[in-house]
Chain A
Amino acid sequence: MRDLNAALVQLKPKLGRVADNLDLIREQVERAIEQQADLAVLPELALTGYFLKDLVPEVALSLDSPELTTLRELSRRISIAVGFVEVTTDFQFYNSAAWFEAGELRHLHRKVYLPTYGLFDEQRYLGRGDRFRAFDTCFGRVGLLVCEDMWHLSAPYLLAMDGATTLVCLSSSPGRGVEQGQLGTAAAWRNLTTATARFLTCRVLYVNRVGYEDGVGFWGGSHAVAPSGEIVVSAPEFDASMTLARLNAADLRRERIASPLVRDESLCVTQLELERIHRERSR
């Protein structure tokens, strides 16, 4: 497995302006290439902005669209993880994340857990993905998650069981909660990413956007977590930035030797119990 130099690209998309956002993304990816990064990770819905509502069909892209083709071509020089609205040939719309590498679409993940509560309304506008699959990249096996996916324990668990050693989470997380020393949302996310990394002895790359939409501020604070659960590098909160994270294969190896949790995990017990629970619940 190669060491990985990841650029966490924390940008501010314009709501519904795909062409402008594509320019912004290309510019940032070029910068990442200049800085010798091997991977550029962009936020959830980086090509469109977040609170799209009825704009969803207008900003949706098919996998062979010129916009995604541009990014796919760019991936001959750097791997790219990016979020967008996907439209399928049968006109289903998804909150999707693509992994482009070596001029190919290496993996497509459709967000499974669409938050529809509080300030969120995703399931009204978007279709729900139906799988979590890890995939091979030149930096080892990776699992892609889109924001809320990460809050469902089973999602990173399945990806790690499927062999992922790096979890990459693309996010558009609205900041809220100013009662404590840290922003409430930021503290919750850091707890989540660090605990997930530690439970699954995986690296976690978390990339969140910045900027405001209708008064809601996205808090940024993108970060990389080592398999030990330690945050190795963090981007600033609220400001656009590009942060480089160096992830060494040696650290992963060391951690997996020291804490063989994934090795010892019993898929068999988990599966049997899940089947039983499912059976009992459907009675």
Chain B
Amino acid sequence: MSLLTINAPLARRILVGFLQDEIWKVGAKKAILGLSGGIDSALVCHLAAEALGPENVYAICMPYKSSNPESEAHARLVAEASGVHYNVIEITPMVDAYFEGFPDADPMRRGNKMARERMTILFDHSALQGALVLGTSNKTELLLGYGTLYGDMASALNPIGDLYKTQVWQLSEEVGVARPVIDKQPSADLWAGQTDEQELGFSYREVDQLLYRMVDQRATAEELQQAGFSADFINTVYGKVQNSHFKRRLPVIAKLSNRTIDRDFRYSRDWGK
């Protein structure tokens, strides 16, 4: 049994309870999420449908013209299987209109813009439906910084942010995510044929084994090498975690007063709830 194996029914119960408690106590009943056709958003969609009832969950698929058509088909499959409201909103007109002014923009700028375009649509629909935006970033992506700040990383609540990708696969089996969605190669789907693992340069299963030891078990570099990880791999991953830390924090506030927000003005987010 792998180090990363979880008690899936127990994790499911905790996450369903989390969604219910954190959504209901702020006086909301509904949730909204972007459904990409990938496994992370599929898992969140199933958990939300179970927690809130599918009639209270709004899934929006937001393809760009270069997105793989299979992605939308998979998003629809997930929406149908979980019974949630489903809507497709193309982002091509907005994104293309913007880049007409910047034709030389590289794929990273374009990918980030797409992620942020989707975010604005989700938050607009959040206001329209009175629904909280659910995040769909997993722990692997969050640690590696493999996501767009204020784009796909923006949400009100994230039920899967403490699950490594390997564990997302496992829990997805438990909640009954459609087989083709579980089996396919993870992809940010910015262009046809793109895969995460190709872009990152290592596999999720491989990096999850390393991250689990490094982060959760606080293994030393020496212990990690003894466990069979190369020094290069360890350094690359450690560097990614360190250099993306800004994405996991609020913007830095320059201190002047005695009570600066988040430094010596400290309250839980659930203050009064």
Contact among B5, B10, B21, B267 for A55, CB-based, below 8 A? B267
Chain A interface category by residue count: 20 to 34
Chain B residues with CB below 8 A from A221, complex form: none
Min CB gap A181→B, angstroms: 6
Contact among A16, A212, A238 for B272, CB-based, below 8 A? A16
Does A14 have its Cβ within 8 Å of any Cβ on chain B? yes
Distance between Cα atoms of A52 and B270 in the complex (Å): 10
Number of residues on chain B facing chain A (CB within 8 A): 22
A178-B7, A178-B10 known; A212 vs B17 contact (CB < 8 Å): yes
Does B14 have its Cβ within 8 Å of any Cβ on chain A? yes
Distance between Cα atoms of A211 and B268 in the complex (Å): 14
Chain A residues with CB below 8 A from B265, complex form: 54
* Chief secondary structure at chain A's binding surface: loop
Q: How many contacts A-B (CB < 8 Å)? A: 58
Distance between Cα atoms of A52 and B7 in the complex (Å): 30
User: Chain A 31-47, CB within 8 Å of chain B: the 1/0 string?
Assistant: 00000000000000000
A53-B266, A54-B265, A179-B6 known; A15 vs B272 contact (CB < 8 Å): yes
B13 contacts A15, CB within 8 Å?
A: no
Chain A residues with CB below 8 A from B266, complex form: 53-54
Does B238 have its Cβ within 8 Å of any Cβ on chain A? no
Chain B residues with CB below 8 A from A181, complex form: 7
Chain A residues with CB below 8 A from B184, complex form: none
Distance between Cα atoms of A131 and B157 in the complex (Å): 41
Distance between Cα atoms of A12 and B22 in the complex (Å): 12
Distance between Cα atoms of A212 and B273 in the complex (Å): 10
B272 contacts A178, CB within 8 Å?
A: no
Does B269 have its Cβ within 8 Å of any Cβ on chain A? yes
User: Chain B 17-30, CB within 8 Å of chain A: the 1/0 string?
Assistant: 11001100100000
A54 contacts B18, CB within 8 Å?
A: no
B10 contacts A51, CB within 8 Å?
A: no
* Chief secondary structure at chain B's binding surface: loop
Q: Name A1-36 residues within 8 Å CB distance of B.
A: 12, 14-17
Contact among B7, B17, B270 for A180, CB-based, below 8 A? B7
Does B95 have its Cβ within 8 Å of any Cβ on chain A? no
Residue of B nearest to A217 (CB): B14
B271 contacts A217, CB within 8 Å?
A: no
Chain B residues with CB below 8 A from A17, complex form: 272
Chain A residues with CB below 8 A from B17, complex form: 212, 217, 238
Residue of A nearest to B16 (CB): A238
Distance between Cα atoms of A175 and B10 in the complex (Å): 11
B271 contacts A238, CB within 8 Å?
A: no
Given A179-B6, A213-B270; 5 other pairs, CB 8 A cutoff: A54-B266, A55-B268, A178-B10, A215-B157, A238-B14
10 contacts between A and B (CB under 8 A): A15-B270, A16-B271, A53-B266, A53-B267, A54-B266, A55-B271, A178-B10, A178-B11, A217-B17, A238-B13
**Chain A residues within CB distance 8 Å of chain B:** 12, 14-17, 51-55, 175, 178-181, 183, 211-215, 217, 238
**Chain B residues within CB distance 8 Å of chain A:** 5-7, 10-11, 13-14, 17-18, 21-22, 25, 157, 265-273
Which 8 A-B pairs have CB atoms at the shortest separation, nearest pair first?
A: A212-B21, A53-B266, A51-B268, A178-B11, A178-B6, A54-B266, A214-B268, A213-B270
